Structure 1
Amino acid sequence: MSGSRRAPNPAELRRVVESMSDWLSGEGDKPERRELAAAVRLSLHTLATDAPGNSVEVRVPPFAAVQCVGGPRHSRGTPSNVVETDPKTWLRLAAGLTDWHTAVTDGSVSASGTRSDLSHLLPQLRLR
Structure 2
Amino acid sequence: MALTDAQKEATIDYGEDKALITLAGTTKIGDALGWSSGWKRALATTGTAIQLRCVAGEDGASGQKIKAYFGKTVVSGSRFTGGTAGGSLYVAEGTDNGQYTETAPSTSGDCNTVIGYILSATEIVVLPSRNTDSVA
TM-score normalised by structure 1 residue count: 0.30
**Higher helix share goes to which structure?**
1
| Structure with the higher fraction of residues in strand conformation | 2
TM-score using structure 2 length: 0.29
Larger relative contact order (Cα-Cα within 8 Å, sequence gap ≥ 6): 2
